[in-house]
Chains A and B, each alone.
Chain A
Amino acid sequence: MADVINFFSDFFYNNPYGQVAFPFVKIFAILIPLLLAVAYLTYAERKVIGAMQLRKGPNVVGPFGLLQPIADAVKLLFKETILPAGANKIVFIMAPMLTFVLAMIGWAVIPFNATLVLADINVGILYLFAISSLGVYGVIMAGWASNSKYPFLGALRSAAQMVSYEVSMGFVIISVLLLVGSLNLSDIVMAQQGSYGIFSWFWLPMLPMFVIFFISILAETNRSPFDLPEGESELVAGFFVEYSSMPFALFFLGEYANMILMSAMTAILFLGGWLPPFDIAPFTWIPGPIWLFAKIALVLFCFLWVRATFPRYRYDQLMRLGWKVFLPFSLFWVVLTAGVLVAFDMVPNS
């Protein structure tokens, strides 16, 4: 065993080919578990919603229906890819690829524990914010390139919705950054380490912002109750009506990967990232990444819970909530946070 580890560490750190290959190995070490997580998130969603509606959910394919996501993937893979005759071919094919890629590259900056991070960049949180604000392009391009009415309406809705909620998300992030004094994601997590364990994390002092952020990420990922871009009751399936087979699967994977990415962002900003809830023996035995995954899973469960609970918002109410409620309130909270920090002389890294 030690020989094998020695061989690999020697190869990756000292061999020139190994040094080139090492980043790719790290990228795959993040992406492959991520794709598996996406597949099983769809399974979890069906099981959780099934349980909430007193149904069984998938239970036929494999033990407890565990092979259902694999079966779905294979089914989509073998379907025919249809390019509508009036579609703008290149943009039509690029849109799902863009959505999928954007959902993947955000993971480059997520810190799994104090040292385990692919790219530890100084502006990590801004990078994540930029990536999430690009997500709207996949939807708009798909809607426009389909050259069809329902996708176009879905795309327009989505563009307006995602731009609106991004603004209040930006203010939430600023108010958290005021407490940290750094844009680095590892610094944000370390700033939440305090003597009160779970009560030092930012969810408590920033409770209203935590709630606003959670609601905003629901809107940002087009999840119910804000899933108007794909509102099947009026738009058939919204912006991806014309997609089939693998392009459709890429949209699907992208949406769920985005959910996981946004949950990771919530865990890092408000739930202490990889930190254990209490800094005492049984909790500190469990390694940091496991805590991070547990927190991500908690937020994801809330995503599914909300979906099973709330009816879809009306579009004007959605816009009102974003612009007239969240935006003024989060702006006020930024000013309040800054005022308190300056008044009590608690500005970090000043």
Chain B
Amino acid sequence: MILQGLAFYLFASITVAAGVMVVTSRNPVHSVLFLILAFFNAAGLFVLMGAEFLAMILVVVYVGAVAVLFLFVVMMLDINFVQMREGFLQYLPLGAMIGLILLVELVLIGGAWVVSPEAGGLAAVPAVPAGELHNTRAIGNVLYTDYVYLFQAAGLILLVAMIGAIVLTLRQRAGVRRQSIAEQTARTRAEAVEVKEVSTGSGV
């Protein structure tokens, strides 16, 4: 129990510290690396709660794929740090005002927060009794039966996003030489090579 508590505070404090570093560090690549650290420790917290499937999926999807592409893009940005810090004082009042508004909004929302009255009842009676199934199977049982339409809807939204990204970036340019593998492998000797009889001294 003590070990679990220690591990919780270790993971939690590193997550929070890494989160702070994401927004405060000057170098954007360092920010992304701290973000990865935060993801990783969040996965550790999931493991402590017994949700090992979610922890692994978090690492595979967010750390292994999303953050790689993120890092990929950030590394290629050509950022001039001196220029970026220029005019910090000039924009400070505006930034402070936006921050203040957000803070007030958060406080208002937090003050009016009501936990759904059904939530307590749902938590008391889990869909799958604890300890009977491991949670990979439990998630599958719920996700593909009760919530199958929502699951499909999420899939459709992602599909639309993917098609949108492709449509936005696809450019049809004239005069681009493309390699067609099928055409290449379908070539025969007859159409690729021509044998010519060249008489000495005259050239082709």
A136 surroundings in chain B (CB, below 8 A): 64, 68
- Using Cβ atoms and an 8 Å threshold, which residues of chain B touch A293? none
CB of A130 closer than 8 Å to a CB of B: yes
Tell me the bound Cα distance from A137 to B75 in angstroms. 13
B7 CB–A CB distance under 8 Å: no
A144: chain B residues within 8 A (beta carbon)? 29, 75
Inter-chain contact B72/A123, CB cutoff 8 Å: no
Q: Please state if A126 and B75 are interface contacts (CB–CB under 8 Å).
A: no
Given A121-B52, A127-B56, A320-B181, A140 contacting B63 (CB threshold 8 A): no
B43-71 to A contact mask, C-beta < 8 Å, 1/0: 00000000011001101100111001101
B33 within 8 A of A: yes
In A101-124, which residues have CB < 8 Å from any B CB?
A: 121-123
How many inter-chain residue pairs (CB < 8 Å) link A and B?
64
CB of B65 within 8 A of CB of A166, answer yes
* B26 interface hit (Cβ, 8 Å): no
Is A123 in contact with B136, judged by CB distance below 8 angstroms?
A: yes
Interface size on A, residues (CB 8 A): 26
Interface residues of A (CB under 8 A from B): 88, 91, 121-123, 126-127, 129-130, 133-134, 136-137, 140-141, 144, 152, 156, 159-160, 163, 166, 170, 183, 316, 320
Q: 9 additional contacts, CB 8 Å, given A122-B53, A166-B64? A: A91-B29, A122-B52, A122-B136, A123-B53, A126-B60, A134-B64, A136-B68, A140-B72, A159-B68
30 CB-based A-B contacts, threshold 8 Å: A91-B29, A91-B30, A91-B33, A122-B134, A123-B52, A123-B53, A123-B56, A123-B136, A126-B53, A126-B60, A129-B60, A130-B56, A130-B60, A130-B63, A133-B60, A134-B64, A137-B36, A137-B68, A137-B71, A140-B68, A140-B71, A140-B72, A144-B75, A152-B75, A156-B76, A159-B68, A159-B71, A163-B69, A166-B65, A183-B53
Interface pairs A-B: 5 shortest CB-CB: A133-B64, A126-B56, A130-B59, A122-B134, A130-B60
